[in-house]
Structure 1
């Protein structure tokens, strides 16, 4: 089974993960919300695609992949037009659909837009649309889709067909026939778009078997749930807990920070285990942001001279700056620095905002980054439960760098004065590390992601870098819960409270 996104062309990824640290956090959050991704934006797509697959299979389907791709692309283009007509968001091709609605007459012919012809204004460039680029891998994770022997993605016999049937029942036979015919025709009138409004993402009926099915699927309450389902369910339960506490529709940032500290009253043991994994992820993301801030400082030092600087000169500049500081004192050891911080009262959120914000001098942010790293180091030492969660979810050796690999490096030299230690860390773990990571990307992927390059023994500036947090699928998960009426602007709905009670 091929679960990789299917694109028509490779996207440029300049500067992405310049220190090779983000991937450790990405792998962790993927295990915490399997079946949902940052680009699966609406819950109802899961039922719609199952219906699209079953409808294709029942109308003299062939094993020709091109015919299947045409069917999927037309179904997506039509869905975008219906969604644009009803003011929806989170739908693939919605910008194209809004433009077509603004310029078209009473009938919209979308055959060319749904083709793969690059000469046409396509609703999306991806070969198999948002289905292949985003949804298929996640629906396969949930046992809704698989791949047949001809390489065509098909709804599974159990869950997939059940989802297709419930979507069809929800919109009714007359609308299902119209929807099928419009995909075949690749042409739709404005009046027909209005008739098709009940298929839109926000139109899942509150009292419907379709809605109940989605809730059962997300919270892994059926016997045929995937092995990864309980992890997703636990994370969704934690989002419900956040909404219950906040008494509002929570943002991803609110969820992150709500899960960062053990709550009162205590959670159940299973939910606390999942919360600890999220806390470990947040610590990992803070570590990679802190290291990115150090990279930004290194780039600023390199950029101070048009001809660049050698490693010796970079290290000397770092030491010169650190030796002038009163706080932290350059003669302190790393051990003394971390012991002098209270990891429980340290303002992680404020430091996070400073490092990810656009304002502030790179050198000042670098010092804040060092304090954050020291606080994270001490937090793990003070919290065996958190250290265990980090050990389970993050690598501590090999090519991948993470919170654990960096702390391990610091622990080996924590008796040294911090001015020397930080200067060496900058050279070994930041400057050289970026050069290595960028070279590997160039060799393996053909992507040129160097932020500085070596010329005759000197590092020469190419581009600046702003620390970027990873995006752990929370926005999509929150929207899914809203789509099935568990969340609204006031927090948990009656259905959300019932779902929370079920998981307690």
Structure 2
């Protein structure tokens, strides 16, 4: 019998995301509430620039999708970024208005800044896929291929893909392209692309392409406003949540500005969760936006659960790694951690032999009203404390604070909840969804009113560390290993016992809020004032669409 021996290459170790599968419901919710905007589609003008570029290349006779087309496309993508960076350098003010999140900025920002009054730039020095001095972007089609193509296809602005070729759609893409073309210098732009050379004076002459100039291109601004607010030719009932979410952000911006407060992702999460402003004033939601607000509040509640559970996983791995001990089973690690001084002292504050339901009852003493979300003992601030401490210098004291904050956050969530309610309201998830994502608001409500209720807080913590911590992570990592052939283990079994690979901090999901705000600024729906960002005349006009079909 012939026997062959060969080395088996181990799967690549990668960082991975959502190590406890606890963020997935949050991601699912915000994805439905802001369709057409993603965490990487940061600038509104790319929604017009990319169809315009393909349209302009088509007008110049570059219709065949080949290496020559791709190289011209990449030069143009570089040039677009250079224009924005140059405009930021010469105009002053807030550079983000011009160049924030421009594709290739990491490479090209310094190039634009160092360009003197008589300087020149060879675009191919940065655009060539092979042989560039410093390649601006890896993807063949630059930011389009990496970030915007899926969304622009979904919106019927562009067809095709990065392998077979891309083209603008005549019904939508061509219209947007023509609107943009009316306010930019296409001949000079294409001249620079064809010549593979642009001078400082030409970059200045091309400033009309800068994203900040979108508001000076009225017909382009109008059609992008229709797109993002789902009006006229872009009306689509499935996209209406985007309009409602943008309106909700505009309304909150107006209220925060009136109270001298800044619009931020943290404030948005807290205000939607508590239906109140930072000072505790009520946020009155119009009937047309109440359903959208409710879904964002559910997202925020799920986010609080997610951060609390992540915090407990963090402290367990942190303490275990610091100990240099090795155990073979999850239960052994959890039992060891339950005996540590930081754990015992955190539990002592709550009463280790009190049941979970007794701890919930006790929360009436220390838990602020839901609307007072700026107070330190509110679950919003407790979870913010968890994320902050999990990024701070590691120590037993920090671990103790995280354990106590996480348990108090879970107690607060249980105290606020009605276990008889549908925790996700009318949000529908596909069959068996929660079998893959067992840590969710439904399972939390069942446990809080069921098995945990008569269990001591000590034993609830132990259960969480094992079942919603180590065992959950091993299950998630094994599933990713099987499905993606990548190792995302943060702790894994070895011949020396369980060993820590890395300790992931507790983090919030990124609910596309910053991208949505940037879009609102780009299209002129938000304007800067001495008090902060508030709806412009255009933005207030969009708010009036609340009751329109």
TM-score w.r.t. the length of structure 1 is 0.89
Answering whether residue 148 of structure 2 is matched by residue 110 of structure 1, we say no
The whole-number CA distance in structure 2 between the counterparts of 1:312 and 1:45 is: 51
Contact 1:396 1:405 in 2 (8 A): no
The whole-number CA distance in structure 1 between the counterparts of 2:211 and 2:144 is: 15
| Greater displacement, 242-251 / 33-42 | 242-251
Q: 1:102 to 1:238 in 2, by over 3 A?
A: closer
- Structure 1 position 365, deviation (Å): 0.6
Any idea what the Cα deviations from partners look like across 1:52-71, whole Å, max 9, x if unmatched? 11112233334434344323
Alignment partner of 1:388 out of 396, 401, 425: 425
Contact 2:13 2:488 in 1 (8 A): no
Contact 1:236 1:477 in 2 (8 A): yes
Answering whether residue 536 of structure 2 is matched by residue 493 of structure 1, we say yes
Q: 1:212 to 1:102 in 2, by over 3 A?
A: closer
Contact 2:526 2:535 in 1 (8 A): yes
Equivalent in the alignment of 1:126: 139
Equivalent in the alignment of 2:335: 316
How many residue pairs are counted as aligned between the two chains?
491
The whole-number CA distance in structure 1 between the counterparts of 2:163 and 2:150 is: 17
What runs of 5+ residues in structure 1 fail to find an aligned partner?
Answer: 1-10
| Greater displacement, 77-86 / 463-472 | 463-472
- Structure 1 position 422, deviation (Å): 1.9
The whole-number CA distance in structure 1 between the counterparts of 2:472 and 2:175 is: 50
Alignment partner of 1:356 out of 383, 387, 393: 387
Answering whether residue 294 of structure 2 is matched by residue 276 of structure 1, we say yes
Any idea what the Cα deviations from partners look like across 1:312-354, whole Å, max 9, x if unmatched? 4323234435566333222222233234435743612211221
- Give SS of 1:447's match: coil
Equivalent in the alignment of 1:408: 446
Answering whether residue 244 of structure 2 is matched by residue 234 of structure 1, we say yes
| Greater displacement, 344-353 / 259-268 | 259-268
Contact 1:277 1:393 in 2 (8 A): no
The whole-number CA distance in structure 2 between the counterparts of 1:412 and 1:396 is: 22
Equivalent in the alignment of 2:71: 70
The whole-number CA distance in structure 2 between the counterparts of 1:109 and 1:230 is: 44
- Give SS of 2:410's match: helix
Residues 44-443 of structure 1 mapped to structure 2, 5 A cutoff = 44-87=45-88, 88-89=98-99, 90-102=101-113, 106-117=119-130, 120-147=133-160, 151-171=164-184, 175-206=185-216, 208-247=218-257, 250-262=263-275, 264=282, 266-310=284-328, 311-320=330-339, 325-341=347-363, 344-345=369-370, 347-358=378-389, 359=392, 361-381=398-418, 384=421, 387-389=424-426, 397-401=434-438, 402-414=440-452, 415-443=454-482
Q: 1:202 to 1:398 in 2, by over 3 A?
A: same
The whole-number CA distance in structure 1 between the counterparts of 2:355 and 2:433 is: 23
Contact 2:313 2:469 in 1 (8 A): yes
The whole-number CA distance in structure 2 between the counterparts of 1:364 and 1:281 is: 25
Q: 1:457 to 1:312 in 2, by over 3 A?
A: farther
- Structure 1 position 217, deviation (Å): 1.0
- Structure 1 position 122, deviation (Å): 0.7
Any idea what the Cα deviations from partners look like across 1:438-493, whole Å, max 9, x if unmatched? 23333333433222222247322332221111111111111111111121233122
The whole-number CA distance in structure 2 between the counterparts of 1:213 and 1:383 is: 46
Q: 1:478 to 1:395 in 2, by over 3 A?
A: farther
Q: 1:211 to 1:102 in 2, by over 3 A?
A: closer
Q: 1:473 to 1:148 in 2, by over 3 A?
A: closer
The whole-number CA distance in structure 2 between the counterparts of 1:231 and 1:164 is: 26
Q: 1:500 to 1:224 in 2, by over 3 A?
A: closer
| Greater displacement, 247-256 / 49-58 | 247-256
Residues 24-35 of structure 1 mapped to structure 2, 5 A cutoff = 24-35=25-36
Any idea what the Cα deviations from partners look like across 1:381-434, whole Å, max 9, x if unmatched? 179476415666998621124333344344441222221222122112201111
Q: 1:339 to 1:84 in 2, by over 3 A?
A: same
How large is the RMSD of aligned CA atoms in angstroms? 2.8
Q: 1:92 to 1:79 in 2, by over 3 A?
A: same
| Greater displacement, 460-469 / 470-479 | 460-469
TM-score w.r.t. the length of structure 2 is 0.82
The whole-number CA distance in structure 2 between the counterparts of 1:388 and 1:395 is: 17
- Give SS of 2:492's match: strand
What runs of 5+ residues in structure 2 fail to find an aligned partner?
Answer: 1-11, 89-97, 277-281, 371-376
- Structure 1 position 206, deviation (Å): 4.8
